[in-house]
Amino acid sequence: MAEKTISQKKLLGVAGLGWMFDAMDVGMLSFIIAALSADWGLTPGQMGWIGSVNSIGMAVGALLFGILSDRIGRKNIFIITLLMFSIASGLSAFTTTLTVFLILRFFVGMGLGGELPVASTLVSESVPAKDRGRVIVLLESFWAFGWLLSALISYFVIPSYGWETALIISAIPALYALYLRIRLPDSPAFSPNKVKKRSAWQNISDVWSKEYARSTFVLWVLWFTVVFSYYGMFLWLPSVMVIKGFSMIQSFEYVLIMTLAQLPGYYSAAWLIERMGRKFVLVTYLLGTAASALAFGNAETTSILMTSGILLSFFNLGAWGALYAYSPEQYPAVIRGTGSGMAAAVGRIGGILGPLLVGTLVSADYSISFIFTIFCISIIIGVVAVAFFGKETRQLELN
């Protein structure tokens, strides 16, 4: 199996479809939270916990599976995590209590959190330096197709057939994971003979060694601020639209339109990342995200709300693509999965706090304007970290 090869396009397609299924599940959750609120009579605090439990699982999964990917290979973890989130997501369609739903969402989150950094690491190690940034951003662009698919399913399925049907549809990736086991070779940079001589603790320690401490600091700050703001804003997007006076159907429709803006965001970032560098794309697109968040939170007309929401999707998802390209490039192969996984895990802590913060502040009658200003400030902190302390990794050969 180690001798198998796969073309760059096929690798992108295989990993990208897994990425798309992840996005479909996360995107659908934002719509399901709004539907569950009406169906189960949830409080804003309970709504916030659904998103946060998902992120708790993602934090655990990113750390655990990131470490394991340096021990047993990228491909094996990619398949395990895909199966985990697919099966747990399908089972959650049959729950009748919030407690059981939250438990299953934890396991969904573990699969999601483990799969994303491991998939980006696998692809990073499998393409040449001159193409790596562009390919990783294109991989991340499958996230937009997943969100678009989730928005379409939520718009056409949830109102007529219920959120349970939408969750059953999300379990389809379990079948795809079986196909992956046959079709996908492991990363050419992964060497079992080399990594077996290293303990997991040694890999964790090396991430904070003198050589990599600065890169780790930048990644942790960047991941925390980006994930905190993303999940705080996007998991609440349909619900925020309802709070602003739109019906649930209208909110689904408008979020679907906003989701379409993710694609040009990714493709423009993919074009720029090899021409202008990782730091340029991160700084530019995060600043665009911060400005759009501020405008969205203060929007008082439908036209301003839609325009700022479209720009928010454009800039935020373009920045995500650059972040996934940037992260694996900070470390050598023996600790790449561990380093990327630990950074993603720290980010998921932000993903826990973001939705909880929104639920808490909405319950306390704070304005949407105030809430989105907090996310704007968070993003600016991430910009400062990468602009002043981050190193440029464009065209860097991975070892």
Helices 98-124, 129-156: axis angle to 10 degrees equals: 150
Distances in Å between the alpha carbon of 206 and those of 122, 209, 298, 338? 20, 5, 44, 10
Considering only residues 198 and 263, tell me which one the structure prediction assigns the higher pLDDT. Answer: 263
The CA R_g of the chain, rounded to the nearest whole Å, is 20
With a cut of 90, say whether residue 217 has pLDDT above it. Answer: yes
Q: What is the pLDDT of residues 134-155, one digit of tens each?
A: 888 888 788 878 877 887 887 7
Burial of 247 (0-12, 13-18, 19+ CB in 10 A): exposed
**Phi and psi (nearest 5°) for 369?**
-60, -45
pLDDT of residue 395: 67
State percent of the chain over pLDDT 70: 91
| Residue among 161, 175, 149 at smallest CA distance from 86 | 175
Q: What is the pLDDT of residues 53-71, one digit of tens each?
A: 887 898 899 889 988 888 8
pLDDT of residue 1: 38
Residue with tokens 């991941």: 223
Q: What is the mean pLDDT of the chain?
A: 82
pLDDT of residue 3: 45
pLDDT of residue 249: 65
With a cut of 70, say whether residue 100 has pLDDT above it. Answer: yes
The angle at the Cα of 237, spanning 381 to 166, to the nearest 5 degrees, equals 130
Considering only residues 81 and 259, tell me which one the structure prediction assigns the higher pLDDT. Answer: 81
Residue with tokens 């001589």: 197
**H helices, E strands: number in the chain:** 18, 0
Residue with tokens 């089972």: 91
d(CA 385, CA 226): 12
User: What CATH code is assigned to 8-180+200-389?
Assistant: 1.20.1250.20
| Residue among 37, 31, 54, 43 at smallest CA distance from 364 | 43
With a cut of 70, say whether residue 2 has pLDDT above it. Answer: no
pLDDT of residue 8: 73
**If pLDDT is split at 50, 70 and 90, which confidence band does 222 have?**
very high
Task: Identify the DSSP state of 390.
Answer: P
Instruction: Characterise 127 by phi-psi region: left (phi > 0), alpha (psi -120 to 50), beta (else).
Output: beta
State percent of the chain over pLDDT 90: 16
Considering only residues 7 and 356, tell me which one the structure prediction assigns the higher pLDDT. Answer: 356
With a cut of 60, say whether residue 195 has pLDDT above it. Answer: no
pLDDT of residue 140: 79
Residue with tokens 């007309």: 301
Of the candidate ranges 57-66, 189-198, 332-341, the one whose mean pLDDT is the lowest:
189-198
**If pLDDT is split at 50, 70 and 90, which confidence band does 396 have?**
low
